[in-house]
Amino acid sequence: MNSQPASIEKTLPAQGRFVAGIVGAAAFAHLLNDLIQAMLPAVFPMLKSNFALSFSEIGFIALAYQLTASLLQPWIGLYTDKYPKPYLLPCGMVVTLLGIVLLATASSYAMLLLAAAVVGVGSATFHPEASRVARMASGGRFGTAQSTFQVGGNTGSAIGPLLAAAIVIPNGQAAIAWFVVAALVAIAVLCRLTGWTLAHGQAQLKGLASIQKEGLSRTRVVQAVVVICILMFAKFVYIASFTNYFTFYLIERFALSIQQSQVFLFVFLASVALGTFAGGPVGDRIGRKAVIWVSFLGVAPFALALPYANLFWTAVLAVGVGLVMSSAFAALVVYAQEAVPGRVGLISGLMFGLMFGIGGLGAAGLGHLADTHGIVWVYGFTSFLPLLGLATALLPKTGR
């Protein structure tokens, strides 16, 4: 089994091989996209102070962004499965750029909600199409390509809070406009990806068609979808507690400054990026279900111990959480793509859409719980979520 990815690639025609430059470019564009997305929760403490917002109102800003990002993605993926639109990639980033400008100039809570929603629209356009390009260039190494693509996004999510702490927090809301530079670079990269897709996409797809596995039956697809939803709920509500509220937790429990807490958030998000990178190649070799098992049950001891740890051990345990739990996402995406072959855009849109939607609902719900019970209580409550990973036992076996 260990030689399977290499043997698959050797059987492909030359035009169907792993195209590292394109997978890398898709990952870099994902880095820039998610760097911009991560800036939004990173400036929540500043917005909370400037606009006198409650935790619930902060949660609704996250919800506005993540609902547009989630609800549109499956429909975009379904449409482009039937009618490919390579130019949607740079066009979607133009929408993100507009959202940055709105956020930098917002003067009311309503404008903040609108800006967050517009940024979400840009993200909804980006993820299914960029994920499709990464798979197209994978040469059959689907897990490796997906994790490389995803680690780009996670790296951007780690860098975003640092840039927000260095640029936005000291200089105020208007400094958010500096993130326009990242959007412009992303537009240039996405134009290159579009050109490659137009020139070589059909040849790559013909090469991959020779190794396409048979999908699951309708009944087993329904079973798989239910289990995946449970796993995604556990993963992304727990991750949302870190990405949206870890800084508040550290400030309240350990009396850190905003900028000090952003450094801890960066450490957590960097560990998420590293764990994501490992999940795909390992899944190519040992199977998707094995990675999912390790990801959920392996993180449970870290999660259960974290609410009772001091500052040093909180940082150590947060790194453990990020490394272990993040490895599941690439495995879940590729598992779903194998279960329903020929629907890469739809499945990618659903998976990334579920990620954003569950994260948004989780952020809003956790914000309400933080208002009523306190942010420290929330971390004790969410520490039990990884135990839902036991549902992995019910995942049907796919062709790989």
Report pLDDT digits (tens) over 185-236: 999 999 999 988 888 765 565 555 555 555 667 788 888 878 888 888 888 8
pLDDT band at 175 (very low <50, low <70, confident <90, very high): very high
- At residue 174, the pLDDT reads 92
Residues 6+ apart with CB under 8 A from 204: 15, 16, 19, 136, 137
Mean pLDDT along residues 285-314: 87
Q: Domain 17-394 belongs to what topology? A: Growth Hormone; Chain: A; (1.20.1250)
- At residue 16, the pLDDT reads 55
Mean pLDDT along residues 81-88: 78
1 has a pLDDT exceeding 50: no
Output the CA–CA distances (angstroms, integers) from residue 82 to 75, 101, 198, 342, in the order listed.
11, 33, 16, 10
Q: Is 327 helix (H, G, I), strand (E, B) or coil?
A: coil
Give residue 213's identity as a one-letter amino acid code. K
Domain ranges of the chain: 17-394
Output the CA–CA distances (angstroms, integers) from residue 121 to 73, 127, 158, 187, 250, in the order listed.
9, 11, 21, 15, 31
Exposure of 151 by Cβ count < 10 A (0-12 exposed, 13-18 middle, 19+ buried)?
Answer: buried
Give the C-alpha separation, 63 to 112, whole Å: 12
Share of the chain above pLDDT 70, in %: 86
> 29-80, pLDDT tens digit by residue?
999 999 998 888 888 888 888 998 888 898 888 888 877 887 787 788 778 7
> 107-134, pLDDT tens digit by residue?
999 999 999 999 989 988 888 888 888 8
